[in-house]
Structure 1
C-alpha cells in the first residue's frame, strides 16, 4: 500500500480482520486488571487490596490507593538505531534517520517521533510504502510534513485503536511485538518499527496463593481475591451457598437502612459507591454513608472555604472554627490601640469583639459614651463648627463628626438617642449646648442660646458630670 507524501496528513489503516474491544468508561466492577485497562486510557487498576480496584487515577488516589500501587500504562517509545547521514560513506544514496524504533502502545494513546529523509537531488521521493505482514487490525499510522525539500522532515504518529478480542483465534499473537517496514518507493532503505500493545498487566505474574488478604481461602492477583470453590466475597469470607442471601446484609448499616445508603451497588457483600458527575465529589465508607460535599456552606463556599468536608462534617483549617468553619480565631482585628485584645474589656469571637463591660462598646471596646470627659473631648469640635469655620477647617478637631445646629431643646436632646447633654460658655452672654452621640452616630446636634446667663454659670461644665 502506498501513501503519497505531498498531503499534509497521510493515513495508513492496516486491516487484517481482527475484532477489537470497544472503548467504554472505567468499569468499576471489572473482574480483572486487563479488563480495566483495556476499557480506556483514563482507567487505572489499584494493585493493593481495596474495595475499589478499577477507576480513574484521580478517583483511585482519593480512595487511598497510592501512586506506586496504581497500574496505568501510557506507552513508551525507544530509538534503537539512530545513525546520522555523516556516518555513511556514500552520500549519493537515500538515507533515513532513525533506522529502528520500538513502540509500546496503550490503546488510544498515541506515540510520535520525527523522521528525516535525505535524498540525492536527481531522485525525488514521491511515495512511501508500508509492509504490514502479521500486523493486527487497528494500528493507525499517520504522517505530517514538517519541512519540505532535502532533507525532508516528517512526523510519524502511531496509535492503536484497541486491544484484540481474546476470543478470536485467527491470530494467536495478540499483543506483539510486530515489525513494520516504512520504505520510500523505488529504494531499498527502510525504517523498522517494532510495535507491542500494552493490553496486559504485569501484576498478573505475581500470584499469591492462600493469601491472608483472602482469609487463606483464595489467591490474591493484582490486589483482588480469586476464591476457592464454594467460597465468595471480596475476601473469600462467605460460603457460596449462603452468599446470595447474606451479601446484602453486609451492605446495610442495619435492617432499616437501604443498600449502600442508596448511594452505591452491593457486589459480593461489598458496597461499590456511585460516581458523581463532579469528579471532585465522592462517596466513601463501608456503606457509602459518607460524602465530601454534603457539609454546611458559608459565603457560598463549602466549609466557608476554610476547611474540608469529611463524612458530612467540616474539618476546619488551623485558626478557623465553627460548624461551617466561618469563625476566625485570629485576634488581630480585635486589638485595641493599647494592643490589648478588646481593650481588656471583652473577648474576641470570630474576629470581632464582644464587650463584657456594659460601659464600653465599639469594634475594640474602646468607646465609652457614658464615661466622664466626653463633653470635654468634643467641645473643640462643636465650638469650631459654631464659629462658622466649616468642615474643612474643623476636620482636625472633629474627625468623623458633623455638627448640626438646632433651634429648640426638644430637637437637641432625646435621652433615648443621646447618652448625655453637655453645656459650655460660648463668647459673650451665650451658652453652647450639645448632645454626645452614641457609638456609630456621626451627627452632633448643637444649640446656641445668647440670653442673659446666670453669673454662677460662667464656666464650662457637663450635665453628665453633675
Structure 2
C-alpha cells in the first residue's frame, strides 16, 4: 500500500485484516507492521481460536458455498475436490499451483499484479475504499485513478477525458473526448485558435500544437498566430504569400494553404483612387515584380482588401524578359573560367615553342663545331729528371770517371 501527497504533520490510518489459515500450536502468535522509511514498528499479538461452538451447527452443502461445502461459522469447509472461499473451484481440471500461474502476467512475478486474489485461475481484483476507484484488467494491472494529471485532475477532468484500461497495452490510459487529445487530454484538437488574420494556420510560419502556434525559429513572424512581425515594413510581408498564390498561382504556399487565405484579392489594371497606407511589391518569376496595395476599410487591425496589378513589372536592360538573371550570372562565371583555362593553355604552348627553338639552335652549333689535333702547349710530361751535384765530385777525388746518368722518361 502506498501513500501520496503527504505533508509533515499529516496522520495516516492503516486497516489490516488478519486471517488464520491453520491452527497454530499454542494458539498465540505475533507479527510486526512498519512503514517503509521509518525505524519504528508495531508489534501485533494474535490469539488463534481453533474451535468454535458454531462449528457444531454447520450447514451442509450450503448455498453460500455453492452447494459444494459446509458453512461453518460463516466460512466454507469445502467438500473433497473443491476449493476456494466459496468452494467455487474444482480440483479435478487443475491444481492450485496451475491456477496461481494462470494469474501471473507475462514478465511479472506477482500474482494478480499484487492487487487481487487468484481464484480458480482468474484474478479477482481488490476493491478500494473509494467506490469510484476501480482496479481492473485480466491481471488487475489497470485502474481508473493512476492516469496522468492535467491541472490537478485525472485526464484534465471529466470534461476532457476519463481514465480507462487500454485493451492493447493493458495499462491505465486517458480516453479523451472528441475536443481534446494528448497523454493527459491536455491538448485541444481544434486549430481555430491557430488561424491568423489572413486565414492561414499559424500564418504558414509555424505549426499548430495543442491548439497553440509554435512559430518557426528562423521566421521573423511571432505572436499567438505567428502573424506579428516587428521587422516587417507595414503589412506587405504578411499578405504577400496569399497574393502570390491567389493572383498568380505561385509562391511557397500549397494549394490547401492557399484555400485558407481569407483575404480578398482583386486584380485590376490600375489602382483605384483611394488612400493607401503603403505600396507593396514581391519578387515574381522572370525577374519581375508583383505590385499590390492592401486597403484597410476598417483600420489596420481588420482584414484588408488586396488590389493587385494584373501586369507584373519587369526590368528593362540587358536581361530580356523570360531570362533569369541568376542563370546569366552563372553563364558569365563559366565563360570567365573557360577563357582563363584557354589563356593558360596558350601560354604553355608558347613556352614549349621557345624551348624547342633554343634546343634546335644548340644542335646546329654542336654540328658546326671543329676541334684541332695539335699538341697542347700547356701539356707537361708526367715524369721529371733530377741530378745530384755531389755525385760527380765523389769520383773526381779518386780519379775515377763517374758513370753517366740515364734520363728517365
TM-score grouping bracket, smaller chain normalisation: 0.3 to 0.5
Q: Structure 1 or 2: larger strand share?
A: 1
